[in-house]
Structure formats: structure tokens, C-alpha cells
Amino acid sequence: GGPGSGDVLDLEELRPLGAGGMGEVLLAEQHSLHRKVAIKRLLSTLPKPSRDHAARLLLEEARLTGGLEHPNIVPVHSLVRGPDGGPLLVMKALEGVDWEALLANPNHPGWGQNLGKDSLVRNLEILLQVCNAIHFAHSHLIIHRDIKPANVVVGAYGEVYLVDWGLALQLDESGR
């Protein structure tokens, strides 16, 4: 399809946001909706057997995360095929700071309007939001398996997102 049909041509890569062992996240412009989005894709340097495995993991992450619509879980917009044939997970672009950086510096500008608040109170508020996301995921039989401050993003208006669901597992009804 043409621009605006949801295909990869509608996305213009802007800059890298982060990378892991198998994938990377980029900031992109989605022209049809005039908005910034985040794209998670496979590293181009992965050898074929690793690439096939990583593609399956990214597809599973897209499926699990895409089914979890909650205020503390990053919204998934779409799953498309990239120019290289690999999957691209298109998500909301988050503007914020990871909780790890905030924990390391009580005066971090990322605390925004909460800068004057008691440090214990503001950290407990973030933890409660993470717990809300986990409770919701568990109610859908999904376990995150990589909860850590680096995987929590805090926005300028106090919004809290649990990110990086790449290791998440879907349990069956019996809990296996």
C-alpha cells in the first residue's frame, strides 16, 4: 500500500534509542499521523540461525505486549515487515527517563514536578504503578521476567511504563 496504509514506507527512521543483544529500538516519524513512534527491530549483524530465533522472539513479544492494553504498559501500534523482511514492532515513543537513572540521582531533572517531593514517596508511587502493570499482566497469564529499574520509564508528567517485554512468557490456564 501507499503512505498511510500502515506499511514500513510510512516510517522514517530518525535516531537510535537503545540496543540489546539481538535487537535495537529507533525513534521514527510516522508521516501519515504526524507523530513520533518507537520501532523495535532485529540487529542487522545477527547471523541467520540467530536471526530466525530472534525474529520468533520479537514476534512473540509483539503478540504478548500488543494484547496488554494498560496505562503502565507501552502501547503497541502495529507489527509490520521491514525492508529486510524482518519484523518491526511499532510502539508509542516514550519521552522520559529510566527509573535507574532517577534512583541514582535524587536531583535528576527527570523528576520534573516531583523534584521537591520526599524521595521515598516518589519512588513508592513509581513502584505502585509498576505493580499495577504486573498485576494486569499476571491477570492475563503473562509474566514479564525482567523487572528492574532500567526497564521502567518515568515521563515528565509522572506517567510510568514497564518496558522491554522481550523475555515475557504466556502461561496456560494451569499456570505452566
**Residues forming the active site:** 146
Q: Can you name the residues that pair with 24 across neighbouring β-strands?
A: 19, 41
Say how far residue 96 (Cα) sits from the centre of its chain. 12
Q: Which of 174, 110, 115, 164 is nearest to 141 (CA)?
A: 174
Q: Return the bridge partners of 28, or none.
A: 13, 37
Among 20, 59, 58, 53, which residue's Cα sits nearest to residue 150? 20
